[in-house]
Amino acid sequence: MKISTNKIVYVMLFIFFSNLGFSQGLVENELNSNLLIVSKYNQLEGKLKTPVIIDTLSLGVKGILDDFSYSGPYPDTTIWIDNKVFINRDFAKAPITLGIATFDGLDETGYPYDFTAGPTTSAVADYLTSKPINLNYPATDSIYFSFYCQPQGIGNAPEYQDSLVLQFKHSTAGWRNIWAKKGSTLSTSDSTWDFVMIPITDTAYLKDDFQFRFFNRATISGNTDHWNVDYVYLNRIRNVNDTTFEDVSFVYNTPSLLNTYSAMPWKQYDTTDMKTLYATTIRNNHTVTKNGSFIYKMYDDLGAQVNATYSGGSFNIDPFATTGYMNYAPFTTPPVNYKIPLLTNAERFTIECILSCSPDNDRMNDTVRHVQDVTNYFSYDDGTAENSFGMSTLYAQLAEKFVLKVADSMQYIDIYFNPFLTNASIYSFNLNVWSDGGSAPGAAIYTGANPEFPTYSGVMHNQFIRYKLDAPLYLSPGTFYVGFTQNTNQFINIGVDKNINSQSKIFYNVSGVWNNSPFFGSLMLHPVFGSYAEFTGIEDSPAETKAEATVFPNPVNDRLYIDFKTDSGKNSFSIIDLLGKTIVGEQIYSDYIDVSFLENGVYFVQLKNDNKISTLKFIKLKQ
């Protein structure tokens, strides 16, 4: 199901009143929701995967271990019975391994539990509850439960009245508090984690239906008061000194293959834009040196490998506790052995990095992939917002800097807005493009004729919303700036990626003078380029006569049915993705199109009926 209108109204009212009284200038604001979760929840139509509770987990040899290194945003249902916490790789500082569970004030829909809760209140928010576990062992078996936790990370610090709590399920008394920690703020340079080690000796827990759970207390009206949890581990034959793990792991997602941007238009790319050295972060969580190997492979968009497999050979990886992260260059800064060639069309490439080390507690955290877009847009960010920037001054301006190597035409601007306003009729802005003024934006070379509004329809990947320029804007080679002028003294917050820093490229103007951003991060704003022909199928040509037609169901699983209002019987179609790439060339159909082969996402179907053409959007969702 979709998020209700009532929730939208509450968000609008809460933010309207909470923003009153803010100081002028560029302000860093917390997010009020999590659009990645919102998108996933709507994609699943509320049908979240739930565990089979009758499955009692067995410790086996490896015990119960979750380091959250899998793809989220929801927890693994083979271990957990809730969908409240956010599984991600973005909100932690120096995680123990790749991936964490983040507790906040949002529910499984990605929106606040209570939009009306005051900003200084604290209430129970997220739960993370294990399935029943067979702990029917004698106390002498030395059973220990351990985990790591970190307040704030790169998100919002939980206040002192907030907390993270661990509970065990008692055989007769129900849930009992076992451990708790009050909220606190990390200093800028602090990336420490608390390691918690708890023996389980009470026979009331040593049963075949033992459960544990975490929950947090937070302000439940926004994406705030963050706690990160990593490496949850329960097993027998442990001891109080069992504080390290036989696990060599990646720590972070790997970065862009490009020097300056996270993505760029293919027409602007040349081989000097590609890095000569790549970067990985590797951590040995054991007490002894481990011998391991490292390789990477690169693939094109069709899955064909394009490079000779790179091998860093084998090398001894010292413990993190004694030497920190691994610094052996063939593993951590390997040379890039493939140069993306000069391109004749948009392309995507994937680089896959693989660690091998044996024995190893968890192999899932030994592989990391990065998808590289060289398509039709510029970006600095990684596509996920951890915070937002906004201004509370009428006619304030926000801009981001880019550089063209060759002349090109800008068609659209994609923007990720922090969704505190989903009603497009509330606050408006005008799109702008500026020339280079030396060290800041100069003269305006484009101002949208009509006001635009923040919307959160979710039709774009990662919730970027596409705004079309009044007409294609031809730009000569050189520096330009893209942004907007707001027509309100209320915040129109734009998402910020806090994992990549392009602070020097972000400018704001609240009093007639452009200033550089005082905050770390990358603005989530993408100028989109290309000739009109490259967007054929996304926009109907003005010269074309539109065919009156509808498609259903939408979203669709396998069969997309077509209903022409007037039908000559001469029907054909093409399917086009969001980048304007034709997935299925023109084909004849009867009353439906088989789309079962498509991946989940947004597509356009261009319909031809006699000499009439219409282009309709549809969403493909697999059941």
Task: Look at residue 421 in the predicted model and tell me its pLDDT.
Answer: 38
HEC-encoded secondary structure of 138-168: CHHHCEEEEEEEEECCCCCCCCCCCEEEEEE
Kindly report, residue by residue over 176-230, the tens digit of the pLDDT: 999 999 999 999 899 999 999 999 999 999 999 999 999 999 999 989 999 999 9
Strand, helix or coil at 280? coil
- Domain boundary (341, 375, 409) is at 375
Claim to verify: residue 179 and residue 38 sit in the same structural domain: yes
Task: Look at residue 19 in the predicted model and tell me its pLDDT.
Answer: 42
Claim to verify: residue 206 and residue 325 sit in the same structural domain: no
Range ranked top by mean pLDDT from 432-446, 451-465, 569-583, 588-602: 432-446
pLDDT of 2 higher than 60: no
State the Rg of the chain over Cα.
26
464, 113, 159, 393: CA torsion to nearest 10 = 50
Strand, helix or coil at 375? strand
Closest by CA to 509, choosing from 484, 527, 491, 488, is: 484
Kindly report, residue by residue over 139-160, the tens digit of the pLDDT: 999 999 999 999 999 999 999 9
The CATH number for 611's domain is 2.60.40.3080
Claim to verify: residue 296 and residue 217 sit in the same structural domain: no
pTM (two decimals):
0.81
- Cα-to-chain-centroid distance, residue 233: 26
What does the DSSP assignment read for 421-458?
Answer: ---TTS--EEEEEEEE-SSSEEEEEEE-SS-B------
- Long-range CB pairs of 434-438 (<8 Å, 24+ gap) are 434/399, 434/480, 434/481, 434/482, 434/483, 435/479, 435/480, 435/481, 436/478, 436/479, 436/480, 436/481, 437/514
Claim to verify: residue 290 and residue 238 sit in the same structural domain: no
Helix H or strand E encompassing 43: helix 35-43
- Domain boundary (324, 346, 375) is at 375
Average pLDDT, the chain: 87
Any domain includes 25: no
Any domain includes 381: no
Structural domain of residue 149, as residue ranges? 32-242
pLDDT of 387 higher than 50: yes
User: Which letter does DSSP use for residue 496 in this model?
Assistant: E
Average pLDDT over residues 18-25: 51
What's the token pair of residue 456?
């959160």
- Cα-to-chain-centroid distance, residue 221: 21
Any domain includes 3: no
User: Which letter does DSSP use for residue 464 in this model?
Assistant: -
- Domain boundary (502, 517, 533) is at 533
Any domain includes 248: no
CA atoms within 13 A on the CB side of 549: 30
Kindly report, residue by residue over 390-449, the tens digit of the pLDDT: 999 999 999 999 999 999 999 999 999 875 533 434 688 999 999 999 999 999 999 999
Task: Look at residue 361 in the predicted model and tell me its pLDDT.
Answer: 83
The answer for 95, left when phi > 0, alpha when psi is -120 to 50, beta otherwise, is beta
Tell me the backbone φ, ψ of residue 23, rounded to 5 degrees.
Answer: -75, 160
Any domain includes 14: no
